Amino acid sequence: MDTHTGDVPVVSVKHVTKNFQAVTALRDVSIDFYQGKVHVLFGENGAGKSTLINVLSGVHQPTEGTVEIEGVGADLVSPQRARELGISSVFQEPALVGTLSVAENLTLGREHLRSGFLNRAQNRRAAEQALVQAGSTLSLDSAARDLSRADQQVVEIARALQGSAKLLILDEPTASLTEDETSRLFEVVRRLKAEGLAIIYITHRMGEIREIGDTVSVMRDGALIDTMEIQDVTDEELVTLMVGRKVESLFPDIPHNPREGGLELRRVSTSQLIDVTLTARRGEVVGVTGLVGSGKGDVGRSVFGLAEVLAGSITVDGEEIGAGSPEQRIQQEIIYYPSDRKRDGLIQTMAAFQNATLSALDSWTKFGFVNRKAERAAAEKVLQKMHLRPNHPESLPGTFSGGNQQKIVLARGFTRDYAIHVFDEPTAGVDVGARAEIYNAMQALAESGAAVLVISSDLPEVIGLVHRAYVISQGYVVGEFTGDELSQDNMLPYFFQEMKEPIS
């Protein structure tokens, strides 16, 4: 719905199609972006959002169609050309050089010279002006690596705004930020909007859409489904448009049928944990939550042999498993899904089906040789069950969206039987539709009699999904909740709990 009749868009995408060999990533997409508006791009992983912003950023050139800037056709042949024409992007992962100062990062690639030498005074003035434009009071002399993630994002924004910026693209800017850091970033976005900048904002978080956005365009399977003013559409309608079907409930109703056995940590201490005691029985989904930096991630790492256990014990089905490597843990029927799928979960040079079978190769190995045909058949069956999109199991992980990369990692849990499944931030950067599929997979595991441990910073996810939950603060378990106790009002105060005697 066009509510800007008579206005000239800052940037317009006109009937853009983008093909990658036989794959169509964008199909006849037309969207207008206006001055002083935050325009949200909303869609599942693989819907075409990333391809669209790469076309706008000059990374990809459209197969068909055009991009116009203030009504004039623009040839965005490179990222540098896009920046020159006023289109700048800030991606999810900051691309700052950690050893350089804020000032040096802001002028990197844009250095002012005098007689062939760096003009340090002019560079410093340019960096200072960039920070002022972004509304920041950061020290120009701070090393980028010493900044919080939120401040790194602000430096990225300041760098993007240099020159004659007309359109700023923010791709999942809050994915790794705390609630307080997100609030600070939103203040910057609102100020830039008030100054007349056009902003494209990509997020999977429903709450952010309403808090920061004016207009939303829903994409699915490379096509534009609809563009609406945010106040004119409900959350349920957005999700239905995004996935192409009505999603009755994001969280499945998982029967609570705890059985004997499962996982138990008894007074476990690591470099990040202190006397942690918790259990996840077979047939249960149990949550571990807390603030970023609380130590909760070490629960999963210690169980899988990635963090040294300094004291205490870990048992599976009543038997202490002792110290061990990840390979030994797999043989002890423990599988771990890491929080950083790109760095720790996937081998980028191996096909999707090969990544899915990494932890179960011995199932198809005889006399030292792997039966590749049987391996691939098993992997393809599991990936189809996980609804991998596109269904190209021979493709490399980097060709898939974030949500589909996560499905490849999760497929490992279904290529052999495990007693214990440990999920660390399983839906970070994953859209609503893929989340529902991941939760359904967890339900199947619990109903099959496995113990499922979910480590998550997303409190609504924990509340909606688990049967019991532990809160960790400063390395301690400070609260255990079950049944009606699982609520934000009850649990959130424990996130900020001072150190106390552990629950035992």
Tell whether the model's pLDDT for residue 249 goes beyond 80. no
Answer whether residue 451 shows pLDDT above 50: yes
High-pLDDT (> 90) share of the chain, %: 55
Return the pLDDT at 247: 59
Mean pLDDT score, 298-323? 95
Q: Which CATH number goes with the domain that contains 60? A: 3.40.50.300
Is the pLDDT at 46 greater than 80? The verdict is no
pLDDT band at 23 (very low <50, low <70, confident <90, very high): confident
Task: Round to whole Å and give the CA distance between 405 and 402.
Answer: 5
Contact of 336 with 424, CB cutoff 8 Å: yes
206 and 93: one domain? yes
Segment 390-401 mean pLDDT:
87
Q: Does any domain span residue 504?
A: no
Q: Among candidates 299, 346, 301, 358, which has minimal Cα distance to 324?
A: 301
Residues 150 and 342: their CA atoms lie apart, in Å, by 21
Cβ atoms of 193 and 205 within 8 Å: the answer is: no
Output the CA angle 445-447-450, nearest 5 degrees. Answer: 50
Which domain range does residue 326 map to?
Answer: 262-495
> Strand pairing partners for 229?
215
Kindly state the average pLDDT of the residues 434-451: 91
Is the pLDDT reported for residue 2 higher than 50? no
Helix (H) or strand (E) holding 215: strand 215-220
Nearest to 405, CA basis, from 474, 360, 340: 340
Is residue 88 a part of any domain in this protein?
Answer: yes
In the chain, the percentage of residues whose pLDDT exceeds 70 is 95
Give yes or no: residues 450 and 490 share one domain: yes
Sign, Cα dihedral of 295, 345, 314, 494: positive
Tell me what pLDDT residue 5 has. 41
In this structure, are 141 and 28 located in the same domain?
A: yes
The answer on 294 and 157 residing in a single domain is no
Please state which of the ranges 72-76, 99-103, 151-155, 160-164 shows the lowest mean pLDDT: 160-164
Is there a single domain that holds both residue 203 and residue 298?
no
Confidence grade of residue 376 (pLDDT, cut at 50, 70, 90): very high
Q: Are residues 356 and 220 in the same domain?
A: no
User: Do residues 228 and 272 both lie within one domain?
Assistant: no
Q: What is the pLDDT of residue 219?
A: 94
In a domain, 502, yes or no: no
pLDDT tens-place string over residues 407-430: 999 999 899 899 999 999 998 777
Domain shared by 344 and 479, yes or no: yes
- Higher pLDDT: 245 or 33? It is 33
Confidence of residue 6 (pLDDT cuts 50, 70, 90): very low
Phi/psi at 29 (5° precision): -90, 130
Assess if residue 249 is contained within a domain.
Answer: no
- Residue 312 shares a structural domain with residue 448: yes
pTM (two decimals): 0.65
Model confidence at 24, pLDDT cuts 50, 70, 90, reads: confident
Query: Is 266's pLDDT higher than 70?
Result: yes
* Average pLDDT of every residue of the chain: 88
How high is the pLDDT of residue 477? 96
pLDDT of 1 over the 80 cut: no
The arithmetic mean of pLDDT across residues 60-76, rounded, is 94
Only one residue has tokens 């959002």, namely 49
Please determine, for residue 288, whether its predicted confidence score (pLDDT) is greater than 90.
yes
234 and 268 in a common domain:
no
Residue 52 has pLDDT above 90, yes or no: yes
Number of domains composing the chain = 2
Q: 3-state DSSP helix/strand/coil percent for the chain, to nearest 5?
A: 35, 25, 40
DSSP per residue over 135-161, as a string?
T----TTSBGGGS-HHHHHHHHHHHHH
Assign 3-class secondary structure to 276-345. EEEEEECCCEEEEECCCCCCCHHHHHHHCCCCCCCEEEEEECCEECCCCCHHHHHHCCEEEECCCHHHHH
Going from the C-alpha of 468 to that of each of 409, 453, 462, the distances in angstroms are 25, 10, 9
* pLDDT for residue 307 is more than 90: yes
Is residue 83 domain-resident? Answer: yes
Shared domain for 272 and 401, answered yes or no, is yes
pLDDT-derived band at 452 (thresholds 50, 70, 90) equals very high
Contacts (Cβ under 8 Å, ≥6 apart) of 443: 252, 254, 285
Q: For residue 299, is it within any domain?
A: yes
Contact indicator for 46, 36 with CB cutoff of 8 Å: no
Residue 502: its pLDDT value, please?
46
Res. 53: pLDDT tops 90: yes
